[in-house]
Amino acid sequence: MREYIDKLYETQSLTREEFFGLLANRSEETDAYAGKLACQVRQREYGDRIFIRGLIEFTNYCKNDCYYCGIRRSNSNVQRYRLNEEDILECCREGYALGFRTFVLQGGEDGYYHEERMVGLIKAIKKEYPDCALTLSVGEKKEEVYRAYREAGADRYLLRHETADEEHYRKLHPKELSGARRKECLKTLKKLGFQTGAGFMVGSPYQTTDTLVEDFLFLKELDPQMVGIGPFISHKDTPFRDEANGILADTLFYLALLRLMLPKVLLPATTALGTIHPRGREMGVLSGANVVMPNLSPVAVRKKYQLYDGKICTGDEASECIGCMKRRMERIGCRIVTDRGDYKG
């Protein structure tokens, strides 16, 4: 399978059959080979620089009922919360002082944060922090709403496609959600000039080699500026409570393939990866990731934003987290930089 890895490195693409061959015939040697090449590509494109994004989980209300997610609307064990504008600006203030120049507003699909309120929030953040990038991660909206957010000053948008295979999508979501609509949203976001992030969970229930091949082909075609992947981790209050978690080695291998396929992509070593292994994020960076996203949410709400069980860093102040991340990155020969870390295409 080395020849497919070499081909991906040289041409940044593979056919459906080649992707299948690569994913179906893995060995420790080929995994290690892909990781080494991907690490070299990250070094070539970004050197030892690792970008940080301050994640602000501003609402855990959600109208959706995705089978994998801990804050799905049917989970009545969740203590729901939302941060107001002043709380959010306070998170930004703290983050700015710690060197963050990107803020990520992530939340469930919460009707309280309708278009007008979001536009006000975006403008307030951009006014106070004109030198910072603002990323939104608030789900599926109409084109006009995305346009309003863009015009208000939002720079980036994260919306994982979850799986590119329609049948698989239906096994992960209730019937009112569709994979086709999700893909449409991603195309719209790109068209509107957002730096756009897609992505999927590794080892989600019913994922197969075929569905993964579709993920890689879809990502190649979409050509997003960011890709977020992390292991699926079961949550005790969801229909997937008894499903197995995603596997570390698989996640690292797919990170490496993504770096080879999209050399300049902004690729986080996710909190979920850090949750399934104490050095998961470091290993992610060594497999090609170049972004980490420490949590800037107030400690008082951290435990309430539990998409999956066992989430790390829920008790740590942002300052402790950033210090910890700095040490972690330095130990593997990298350094965290204070930079917006925009995509340079």
Interface with ligand FES by CB under 6 A: which residues? 294, 313, 316, 320-321, 324-325
The smaller minimum CB distance to ligand FES, of residues 210 and 316, is found at 316
Residue 77, Cβ neighbours under 10 Å: how many? 8
Tokens 């309708």 locate to 114
Which position among 58, 149, 216, 232 is part of the footprint of ligand 5AD (CB under 6 A)?
232
Residue 344, Cβ neighbours under 10 Å: how many? 9
In the complex, least distance from residue 2 CB atom to ligand 5AD, rounded to whole angstroms: 31
**Residue 286: which of ligand 5AD, ligand FES, none does it interact with, CB under 5 to 8 A by kind?**
none
Cβ pair 301, 84 in contact under 8 A? no
Binding span for ligand 5AD by CB under 6 A among 11-19, 185-193, 226-234, 259-267: 226-234
Distances (CA, A) of 27 to 33, 41, 108, 213, 286: 10, 21, 38, 18, 18
Q: Restricting to residues 272-311, name those near ligand 5AD by CB under 6 A.
A: 272, 307-308
Q: How far, in Å, CA of 65 to CA of 70, rounded?
A: 9
Helical spans, DSSP H, in 160-293: 166-172, 179-191, 209-222, 248-261, 271-276, 280-286
**Residue 320: which of ligand FES, ligand 5AD, none does it interact with, CB under 5 to 8 A by kind?**
ligand FES
Distances (CA, A) of 149 to 97, 116, 125, 138: 26, 9, 12, 11
In the complex, least distance from residue 232 CB atom to ligand FES, rounded to whole angstroms: 21
Q: How far, in Å, CA of 319 to CA of 296, rounded?
A: 9
In the complex, least distance from residue 233 CB atom to ligand 5AD, rounded to whole angstroms: 4
Which position among 55, 56, 69, 98 is part of the footprint of ligand 5AD (CB under 6 A)?
69
Q: By CB under 6 A, is residue 62 in contact with ligand 5AD?
A: no
Q: How far, in Å, CA of 318 to CA of 297, rounded?
A: 8
Q: Restricting to residues 19-48, name those near ligand 5AD by CB under 6 A.
A: none
**What is the helix (H) or strand (E) element at residue 197, kind and residue range?**
strand 195-202
Binding span for ligand 5AD by CB under 6 A among 31-39, 73-81, 230-238, 330-338: 230-238
Binding span for ligand 5AD by CB under 6 A among 107-115, 216-224, 228-236, 289-297: 228-236
In the complex, least distance from residue 252 CB atom to ligand 5AD, rounded to whole angstroms: 16
Residue 116, Cβ neighbours under 10 Å: how many? 9
Residue type, 34: A
Nearest Cα to 293, choosing from 310, 304, 275? 275
In the complex, least distance from residue 281 CB atom to ligand FES, rounded to whole angstroms: 8
The smaller minimum CB distance to ligand 5AD, of residues 273 and 325, is found at 273
**Residue 69: which of ligand FES, ligand 5AD, none does it interact with, CB under 5 to 8 A by kind?**
ligand 5AD
List interacting residues with ligand 5AD (CB under 6 A): 68-69, 160, 162, 201, 230, 232-233, 235, 272, 307-308
